Amino acid sequence: MNLLPLTTPPEALTLLREGWSILTEQLGLDRATQFVILLERGTGDSVQEIADYWGNSSIEDIHHQVMTWKENQTAQGFKARL
């Protein structure tokens, strides 16, 4: 799982958000996700990468973080679909 660095330029984030919005509008969430997965096959152990990313977070903590992200996206005028 490749995560964006904290120093990702705002214009790159805007482009990513616009691209994701177009993908989900045209393909729907499931097919857009499948498309991105095909592009980003990556290497290594995805289970370990997920564990490294979320650490010891509980499912409640993860849910809270995702919902907060979704609310922020909506507040910024982006279509947040999960």
Residue 35 to residue 41: CA distance in whole angstroms: 10
What tens digit of pLDDT does each residue of 1-50 get?
A: 456 666 778 888 888 889 999 999 998 888 888 888 887 776 677 778 77
31/48 same-domain check: no
Residue 10 to residue 31: CA distance in whole angstroms: 26
What is the tally of structural domains in the chain? 2
Domain containing residue 71: 43-77
How confident is the model at residue 75, as a pLDDT?
76
68/55 same-domain check: yes
Q: Is residue 69 part of a domain?
A: yes
What tens digit of pLDDT does each residue of 52-65 get?
A: 888 888 888 888 88
User: How distant, in Å, are the alpha carbons of 22, 49, 50, 77 from that of 3?
Assistant: 20, 10, 11, 22
Q: Is residue 16 part of a domain?
A: yes
Q: Is residue 2 part of a domain?
A: no
